Amino acid sequence: MTPLPADVAEVIDGYCRAVDAAIGERGVDHATRAQIADDLRGQVHEMLAASPGTIDAAKARTVIARLDAPADYARQWAREPGVAAAPIGAADTRSGALGPVALGVSIGGFVIAMIAVLVGHARGAPPDIAGMIYLGTQLIAFVCGLSARRTPSGRAALICSAILSLLLLILVVNT
């Protein structure tokens, strides 16, 4: 394949970037956006190769003018069943980040509460603060995990915080 002139490549890249930005605003994950951009880039190249004459930036713009506008992709994404809420094959960026945070808060809260219990025990203090840390962090982790329940780490945080909260409840009931 002969590489395209730089100005033609720039026109194509500009269009693909605009589509990428339009669907990115809908919360579509990077891998899916890259997949769509690859298909689209391939289509533009094929359309250019099929058109007679020299390939230049003006021809690239003419070909692109025949394609759907970036806003059409954004509208399509809003209509895709379940896609706006849960992008294809992966969680959206916010849920993706929230899951590990929730898991970290759950486990971190457990560790900090245990340290607080040990330190408090050594100083002869009642374990109230440790209990508050424990319950508070598990509650935060549970809410965050619930928000990120579509991701594996979000589900793990949900289960982890639920089990740890249950353990505390059993401990409180038994004492």
**Would you tell me which residues interact with other proteins (CB under 8 A)?**
1, 23, 32, 35-36, 38-50, 67-68, 72-73, 75-77, 79-80, 83, 88-90
- Closest contact distance (angstroms) between CB of 99 and other proteins is 18
State whether residue 158 is helix, strand or coil.
Answer: helix
Cβ proximity to other proteins, 15 vs 134, nearer residue = 15
Q: Are 163 and 108 in contact (CB under 8 A)?
A: no
Query: Tokens 């395209």, residue?
Result: 4
- Closest contact distance (angstroms) between CB of 107 and other proteins is 30
Query: Tokens 């003018």, residue?
Result: 65
- Closest contact distance (angstroms) between CB of 84 and other proteins is 11
CA distances in angstroms from 38 to 19, 79, 105, listed in the order given: 11, 22, 38
- Closest contact distance (angstroms) between CB of 158 and other proteins is 23
- Closest contact distance (angstroms) between CB of 42 and other proteins is 5
Cβ proximity to other proteins, 44 vs 116, nearer residue = 44
Cβ proximity to other proteins, 67 vs 146, nearer residue = 67
CA distances in angstroms from 33 to 3, 39, 54, 79, listed in the order given: 23, 10, 30, 16
- Closest contact distance (angstroms) between CB of 90 and other proteins is 7
Cβ proximity to other proteins, 38 vs 128, nearer residue = 38
Cβ proximity to other proteins, 37 vs 129, nearer residue = 37
CA dihedral (18, 21, 25, 30) positive or negative: positive
State whether residue 114 is helix, strand or coil.
Answer: helix
Query: Tokens 């806003």, residue?
Result: 71
Cα–chain center distance at 161: 21
Cβ proximity to other proteins, 90 vs 159, nearer residue = 90
